[in-house]
Structure 1
Amino acid sequence: MLISLTHSSNMLTGKHTIFRQRKTLYLLCFLIFFSIANSTEIEILLKFKSSIQNSSTTVFDTWRDDSAACNFSGIACDPQGLVKEISIPQQDLEGEIPFDAICELKSLQKIDLGGNSIGGNIGEGIRNCTKLQYLDLGYNSLNGKVPDLSSLTEMKFLNLNASGISGPFPWKSLENLTPLEFLSLGDNPFEKNPFPLEVLNLKSLYWLYLTNSSIEGKIPEGIGNLTNLQNLELSDNLLSGEIPASITKLTKLWQLELYNNSFTGKIPAGFGNLTGLINFDASTNFLLGDLSELKSLTRIVSLQLFENQLAGPIPEEFGEFKFLEELSLYTNKLTGTLPQALGSWSDFNYIDVAENSLTGAIPPNMCNKGKMSDLLLLQNHFTGSIPESYANCSSLVRFRVNNNSLSGIVPAGIWNLPNLEILDFRSNQFQGPISTSIGNSKSLAQLFLSNNQFSGELPESISQATSLVSIYLSSNQIEGKIPDGIGNLKMLNALYLDSNMLSAEIPTSLSQCESLNDINLSNNYLTGEIPDSLGSLSSLNSLNLSENKLSGEIPVSLSSPRLSLLDLSNNRLVGPVPFSLSLEAYNESFVGNPGLCSQAHRISYLRPCGSDSGEHSGEFSGRFMTIVVCLVVGTVVSLGSFVCFIYIKMRRNDHDHWIKGPSESWEMRPYHVISFSEEDIIKSIKRENLIGQGGSGDVYKVVVNGMNLAVKHVWRSDLGERQRWQSTAAMLGKKAVHSPEYEAEVATLSSLRHVNVVKLYCSISGEGSHLLVYEYLVNGSLWDRMHTCQKTEMDWNIRYEIAVGAARGLEYLHHGCNRPVIHRDVKSRNILLDEDLKPRIADFGLAKIMHVRADGRDSTRVVAGTHGYIAPEYAYTYKVNEKSDVYSFGVVLMELVTGKRPLEPELGEDKDLVQWVNGKLRSNADMIDLVDSGISDTMKEDAVKVLRIALHCTVRVPALRPSMRMVVQMLEEAEPGKLTKGHH
Structure 2
Amino acid sequence: MTPPSPPHLLHILVFILVISGVSSQQFSASERTTLLNLKQSWGDPPSLANWNSTSSPCNSWPEVQCRNGSVIGLKLDSKLLIGTIPPFICDLSNLENVSLHDNYITGEFPRVFYNCSKLIELDISQNVFVGTLPDDIDRLSQLKTAEFGGNNFTGDIPPAIGNLSALTSLLLYQNLFNGTIPPEIGNLSNLETLGLAYNEFADPEIPSEFQKLNSLRYLWMPATNLVGKIPKSLSNLVNLELLDLSLNFLEGEIPPELFLFQKLDRMFLYKNSLSGRIPSVIQLLNLTQIDISMNNLTGSISDDFGKLQKLEVFNLYSNQFSGQIPASISQIPTLRIFRVFRNNLTGELPEEFGLHSKLESFEVSNNHLTGKLPENLCAGGSLTGVIAFSNNLTGEVPRSLESCDRVTTIQLYDNSFTGEIPSGIWTLLKISSLRLSGNSFSGELPSKVAWNLSRLEISNNKFSGRIPDGISSWVNMNVFKASNNMFSGEIPAEITTLSELTVLYLDGNSLSGELPSEIKSWNSLTTLNLARNKLSGQIPPSLASLQDLLELDLSENQFSGQIPPQLGNLRLTSLNLSSNKLTGRIPSSFDNMAYQNSFLNNPNLCSTSQISNLHNCFPKNSHSKKFSPKIIAMIIILSVFVLLAVVLFALFVFRDYQKKKPKRIRTTWKMTSFHKMDFTEANILSCMTEANVIGTGGAGKVYRIGVGPPRGYVAVKRIWNNKKLDPDQENEFTSEVQILGSIRHSNIVKLLCCLSSQNSKLLVYEYLVHQSLDKWLHGKKRKPEPGLVPGFVLDWPRRLQIAIGAAQGLCYMHHDCSPPIVHRDVKSSNILLDSEFNAKIADFGLAKILEKQKPGEGGMSSIVGSLGYFAPEYAYTTRINERIDVYSFGVVLLELVTGKEANDGDGDSNLAEWSWKHYGEGDSVAGALDPEINGYMEEMSTVFKLGLICTSTLPSSRPSMKDVLEILRRCNPLDELPEEMKQGREEFDVAPLLKRESYITSYQEIDDI
Classify the TM-score, shorter chain: 0.5 to 0.7
CA offsets 1:486-508 (integer angstroms, 9 cap, x no match): 23222212111110011122224
Q: Identify the residue that residue 932 of structure 1 maps to in structure 2.
A: none
- Residue 824 (str. 1) matches residue 836 (str. 2): no
Counterpart selection for 2:197 from 195, 211, 225? 211
Post-superposition Cα deviations, 1:451-484, rounded to whole Å, max 9, x if no partner, equal 1101111122222111111111011001112221
Distance 2:106 2:955 in 1: 24
| Structure 1 residue 206 displacement after superposition | 0.5
Residue 595 to residue 839, structure 1, CA distance change in 2 (3 Å): farther
State the shift of 1:142 in Å: 5.2
Select which of 153, 173, 182 maps to 1:196. Answer: 182
8 Å CA contact 1:171–1:198 kept in 2: the answer is no
Which residue in 1 is equivalent to 2:278?
none
Matched, 1:153 2:141: yes
Mapped contact 1:230–1:255 kept (Cα < 8 A): yes
The answer for the alignment partner of 1:536 in structure 2 is: 545
CA contact (8 A) 2:959 2:993 kept: no
Paired residue for 2:349, among 317, 323, 338? 338
Which among 547, 564, 572 is matched to residue 563 of structure 1?
Answer: 572
1:93 Cα deviation after fit: 3.9
| CA–CA separation in structure 1 for the residues paired with 2:870 and 2:992 | 15
Q: Distance in 2 between matches of 1:542 and 1:286?
A: 41
Aligned-residue offset at 1:60: 5.0
Counterpart residue number, 1:75: 64
Q: Which residue is 1:55 aligned to?
A: 45
Does the Cα contact within 8 Å between 2:235 and 2:284 map onto a contact in 1? yes
Compared CA separation, residues 315 and 810, structure 1 to 2 (3 A)? closer
The alpha carbon displacement at 1:108 in A equals 0.9
CA-CA distance at 1:152 after TM superposition: 0.8
Letter in 2 for 1:557: Q
Indicate whether 1:288 and 2:298 are aligned: yes
Q: Please say if residues 781 and 830 of structure 1, whose CA atoms lie closer than 8 Å, have aligned partners that are also in contact.
A: no
SS in 2 for 1:486: helix
State the alpha-carbon separation in 1 of the partners of residues 425 and 381 from structure 2: 14
**Which of these residues, 855, 863, 882, is aligned with residue 941 of structure 2?**
882
Matches within 5 A, 1:783-798: 783=830, 791-792=845-846, 798=863
Q: Which runs of 5+ in 1 are unaligned?
A: 1-15, 615-686, 703-709, 719-740, 742-777, 865-876, 894-941, 968-984
Match of residue 584, structure 1, among 593, 596, 612? 593
Note if 1:948 corresponds to 2:957: no
**Native 8 Å contact 1:97 1:122 kept in 2:** no
Per-residue CA distance 1:381-436 (angstroms, 9 max, x = gap)? 11110111112212110101111111011111111112111101111111111122
| Aligned-partner Cα distance in 2 for 1:861–1:229 | 48
Which range moves more in the overlay, 376-385 or 129-138? 129-138
CA shift for structure 1 position 953: 5.5
Q: Give the direction of change, closer, same or farther, for the CA distance of 1:493–1:701 in structure 2 (3 Å limit).
A: closer
Q: Is 1:266 the equivalent of 2:253?
A: yes
2:607 is aligned with 1:604: no
> 1:248-259 to 2 correspondence within 5 Å?
248-259=235-246
Corresponding residue number in structure 2 for 1:462? 471
The one-letter amino acid of 1:606's match is L
Q: Distance in 1 between matches of 2:181 and 2:970?
A: 23
1:369 is displaced (CA, Å) by 2.3
Identity of matched residues, %: 27
Change (3 A) 1:295 1:813: closer
Name the amino acid aligned to 1:158: A
Is it true that 1:179 corresponds to 2:166 in the alignment? Answer: yes
Question: Residues 311-367 of structure 1: CA distance to partner in whole angstroms, max 9, x if unpaired?
Answer: 111111122111111100001111111111111122211100001111111111111
Give distance in 2, aligned partners of 1:892 and 1:122: 23
Which residue of structure 1 lines up, in the alignment, with residue 125 of structure 2? Answer: 138
Q: Which residue of 2 aligns with 1:488?
A: 497
Q: CA deviation at 1:123?
A: 3.4
Kept in 2, the 8 Å contact 1:304–1:329? The answer is yes
Q: Structure 2 CA distance, aligned partners of 1:891 and 1:593? A: 55
Q: Please report how far the alpha carbon of residue 541 of structure 1 lies from its aligned counterpart in structure 2 after TM superposition.
A: 2.0
Q: Is the 8 A contact 1:158 1:180 kept in 2?
A: yes
Kindly indicate whether residue 871 of structure 2 is the aligned counterpart of residue 804 of structure 1.
Answer: yes
Paired with 1:610 and 1:191, the residues of 2 have a C-alpha distance of: 76
Contact preservation (8 Å) 2:946, 2:994: no
Question: 2: distance between equivalents of 1:946 and 1:813?
Answer: 11
Report if aligned partners of 1:41, 1:83 keep a CA contact under 8 Å in 2: yes
Unpaired runs of 5+ residues, structure 2, are 1-5, 260-282, 623-694, 703-773, 796-824, 833-839, 849-858, 874-882, 972-987, 997-1009
- The amino acid that maps onto 2:572 is L
CA contact (8 A) 2:895 2:901 kept: no
The structure-2 alpha-carbon separation of the partners of 1:231 and 1:271, relative to structure 1 and needing over 3 Å to count, comes to: same
Match of 1:507 among 503, 516, 528: 516
Higher helix share: 1
Any idea what the Cα deviations from partners look like across 1:68-118, whole Å, max 9, x if unmatched? 657643323344x3321112445x443345341212222211112335565
Structure 1 residues 77, 852: CA separation in 2 closer, same or farther (over 3 Å shift)? closer
CA displacement at 1:67 relative to structure 2: 3.6
Alpha-carbon distance between aligned partners in 1 of 2:923 and 2:372, rounded to the nearest angstrom: 43
CA contact (8 A) 2:218 2:243 kept: yes
The Cα of 1:783 is off from its aligned counterpart by 2.5
Q: CA deviation at 1:854?
A: 13
Secondary structure of 2:558's match? coil
Look up the match of 2:384.
Answer: 373
How far apart, in 1, do the equivalents of 2:994 and 2:348 lie? 48
Deviations 1:427-451 (A, max 9, x none): 111111112222xx11111101011
| Alignment-mate amino acid for residue 562 of structure 1 | R
For residue 558 of structure 2, what is the aligned residue in structure 1? Answer: 549
1:695–1:612 Cα change, 3 Å = farther
Change (3 A) 1:199 1:25: farther
User: 1:151-210: CA deviations, max 9, x gaps?
Assistant: 211100112333x3333364334133221111112133x132222323222111011111
Return closer, same or farther for 1:453/1:879 CA change in 2, 3 Å cut-off.
Answer: farther
Change in CA separation of 1:419 and 1:227 when aligned onto 2, cut-off 3 Å: same
- Shift in Å, 1:611: 6.4
RMSD: 4.9
TM-score by structure 1 length? 0.66
Q: Which amino acid aligns with 1:228?
A: S
Answer whether contact 1:486 1:510 (CA < 8 A) is retained.
Answer: no
Partner of 1:61: helix, strand, or coil? coil
Q: Does residue 1:526 correspond to 2:535, yes or no?
A: yes
Change (3 A) 1:391 1:862: farther
Partner residue, 1:974: none
Q: Which residue of 1 aligns with 2:34?
A: 44
1:564 is displaced (CA, Å) by 2.0
Is contact 1:463-1:483 (8 Å) kept?
Answer: no
Residue identity matched to 1:156: K
The answer to whether the Cα contact below 8 Å between 2:194 and 2:219 also exists between their aligned partners in 1 is: yes
Which residue in the other structure is 1:319 paired with?
330
Per-residue deviation at 1:218? 0.8
Is the CA contact 2:548–2:789 (under 8 Å) kept in the aligned structure 1?
Answer: no
- Give the Cα–Cα distance (whole angstroms) in 1 for the partners of residues 223 and 340 of structure 2: 18
Alignment partners' CA distance in 2, 1:301 and 1:173: 36
For 2:579, the aligned partner's letter is N
Give the deviation of 1:55 after TM superposition.
3.5
The residue type equivalent to 1:883 in the other structure is T
Aligned-pair CA distance for 1:891:
10
Counterpart position of 1:395: 406
